[in-house]
Amino acid sequence: MSIRHSSSADVARLIAELTGGDALRREMALARLAVIGSRATTPLLAVASDGAQADHSRVAAFEALEAIGDTRILTTALAAIIGPSDDVAVAAIGALGPIARGDDARATKAFDRLASLATAADAPTGRRLAALAALEGQPETLLRPLYEALAKDPASKVVARVTRRQAGAVEPLETLVDRELPLDPGVVAAVARDDGERAPLATLKRAIEAVRGREANADDPAARAHWSVVRGVLHQHLAARNSRLALYDLRETLEGATGPLPVGFISATAVVGDVTCLPALARAWAESASDDRWWRDHVAEAFRAIVTREHLTRRHPALKRILERWPTAGVLVAMAKK
């Protein structure tokens, strides 16, 4: 009896720490509750299902329940995945994964709900990606039709996740760069879109250099163009994090361009480009066909973004040189303040 009382007291104390404000204590409590196992399921379910609890407490409860793998959480998890909190929903989706790998009626229900969520085009992308992750480890015969259905999904991140899973490129971008990038540019693009938001900045820079090498060595113009798109995607991820780590590559690409570039390059230039990028943008605009509105408009917007961010006036030496060399680019220079 004393041992059982002690265990109950331990669980109660750990639940209190799980729902407290100390993040370190919460993580330690989560780990300990996962070790205690099914004896902690009922109080964890009480936290996970309580909408009055802070999201971080409910997330921690679902993470502990996922580690425990108790199928009693099914109803609570199914309710949470359609709740208002994305963080809680994603944690609940993860908790459904172990249940879906079982062989009973609850496993079938969990699998069907995860598959339905993964293919729901109107569901939040983060929840759909979490559902795909929770389904990993299922038999190939079950996943193949799901992946095939998602291969042309309108959500690019969902397509990226499916593409890399189908290709077996499941390692993170950092590992693939260290080892060797896949030979298929489509697969590398999928990995970049999937991992780019969280990959280390130095990894993105190294990936850009590796892709640039693949691009330069490609004999087929179509393959070269595909690698160029991948490099543009990587630049977008660096720019989204306000990093100029590979600005030199952006500038050199703009300077060497003989026609429109993939949108990733021009989008990244608009975000992190500096004064040194302006001559290349002016040349691209001045030398492009007047009826190529898409390219000229994007170039002009990037030019405007830089002169605005850098607080340039029309008297700036760089803008004066641009007018001297490309007089028709006066419309771009006019975007700067007088």
- Tens digits of residue pLDDT in 12-33: 999 999 998 889 999 999 999 9
Residue 267: predicted pLDDT: 96
3-state secondary structure of 136: coil
Q: Evaluate whether residue 167 is within a structural domain.
A: no
CA-closest candidate to residue 11, choices 23, 2, 35: 35
Q: Evaluate whether residue 153 is within a structural domain.
A: no
Distance separating alpha carbons of residues 28 and 272, to the nearest angstrom:
41
Model confidence band, residue 338 (pLDDT cutoffs 50, 70, 90): confident
DSSP state of 251: H
CB 61, CB 95: distance < 8 Å = no
Domain assignment of residue 303, given as a range: 274-338
Model confidence band, residue 61 (pLDDT cutoffs 50, 70, 90): very high
Distance separating alpha carbons of residues 124 and 129, to the nearest angstrom:
9
DSSP string, 100-165: HTSSSHHHHHHHHHHHHHHT-TTS-HHHHHHHHHHHTTS-HHHHHHHHHHHTT-S-HHHHHHHHHH
CB 57, CB 19: distance < 8 Å = yes
Distance separating alpha carbons of residues 264 and 262, to the nearest angstrom:
5
Domains of the chain: total: 1
Residue 211: predicted pLDDT: 97
Query: Over the chain, what is the mean pLDDT?
Result: 93
Burial class (CB in 10 A: 0-12, 13-18, 19+), 301: middle
Which residues partner with 313 through β-bridges?
Answer: 337
Residue 5: predicted pLDDT: 45
Instruction: Report the predicted TM-score, pTM, of the whole model to 2 decimal places.
Output: 0.77
Tokens of 333: 């220079």
Mean pLDDT within 288-300: 92
Q: Evaluate whether residue 86 is within a structural domain.
A: no
- Cβ-proximal residues to 238 (8 Å cutoff; 6+ apart), any chain: 201, 204, 205, 208, 244, 245, 246, 268, 272
* Residue keyed to tokens 């009693």: 72
Model confidence band, residue 137 (pLDDT cutoffs 50, 70, 90): confident
Q: Evaluate whether residue 298 is within a structural domain.
A: yes
Q: Evaluate whether residue 16 is within a structural domain.
A: no
pLDDT digits (tens, 9 = 90+) for 67-107: 999 999 999 999 999 999 999 999 999 999 999 999 899 99
3 phi/psi in degrees, rounded to 5:
-65, -40
Residue 7: predicted pLDDT: 73
Q: Evaluate whether residue 48 is within a structural domain.
A: no
Tokens of 321: 């040189």
Q: Evaluate whether residue 285 is within a structural domain.
A: yes
pLDDT digits (tens, 9 = 90+) for 38-56: 999 999 999 999 999 999 9
pLDDT at 301 over 70: yes
Model confidence band, residue 314 (pLDDT cutoffs 50, 70, 90): very high
Tokens of 270: 């608009």
